[in-house]
Amino acid sequence: MRTPDGTANVGVCAPCHGDVGDDFDQKKLYINGIADHDGNGIEEGLQIEVEGLLHQIYELLPNDGADHLMITDSSVTLV
């Protein structure tokens, strides 16, 4: 949530994420005392950790060697 002037209202996040940082990308989520969810050795804000996880998923998907994803019905199990 942001105020009408664009300021991040991070105070409402403090009970779960701690009173750290002035913007949402600085808020950390600790699970079992760990905030480094993407495993890169750096405890970053949750939004940055999720971005790191998305990059890891991207690397696991089939590509054409030119960094373009190749997903077809034959390579994906539709549920």
pLDDT digits (tens, 9 = 90+) for 20-34: 677 777 778 888 999
User: Rounded CA gap, 28 and 72, in Å?
Assistant: 36
Residue 71 falls inside a structural domain: yes
HSE toward the beta carbon, residue 56, CA cutoff 13 A: 10
Percent of the chain with pLDDT over 90: 28
The number of folded domains in the chain is 1
pTM of the model: 0.63
Residue 44 falls inside a structural domain: yes
HSE toward the beta carbon, residue 24, CA cutoff 13 A: 10
Residue 15 falls inside a structural domain: yes
What's residue 20's pLDDT? 66
Residue 1 falls inside a structural domain: no
- What residue numbers bound the domain in which 52 lies? 10-75
Tokens representing 26 are 């600085």
